[in-house]
Amino acid sequence: MSAPTLRTFRLANWTLRPDRDEDAPPTTYAFRCLALGGDGAACAAQSPPSEEPTEPQKTVFDHLREHPEHTSFAEIIERPWVMWLEGPA
């Protein structure tokens, strides 16, 4: 029979927070069309992502001009987050 193994555990307090560091990826905004076609398939047309929140809205209006029946959209916001360890490691 071997001797019991001793282990040390350290409790860590992690926090999830928006990443606002200088080297963090930018927050981006986009819109995706939610309209369904005649065959029931989703249109899913999407604007390119932009760091400027109002820029993707132009694509929505362009899409509506081409497809007047497509009136439902989802905004897609990608915001970087980071896990932060509080206290010494």
**To which residue do tokens 């040390």 refer?**
8
Convert the pLDDT of each residue in 9-68 to its tens digit.
778 899 999 999 999 999 999 999 999 988 888 898 999 999 999 999 999 999 999 999
Query: Domain residue spans in the chain?
Result: 24-81
**What φ, ψ does residue 56 adopt, rounded to 5°?**
-65, -20
Six token digits for residue 51: 């760091």
Q: State how far the alpha carbon of 28 is from the alpha carbons of 10, 20, 38, 52, in Å.
A: 37, 13, 31, 7
pTM score of the predicted model:
0.76
Convert the pLDDT of each residue in 72-83 to its tens digit.
999 999 999 999
Residue 56's identity, in one-letter code, is P
CB 81 within 8 A of CB 17: yes
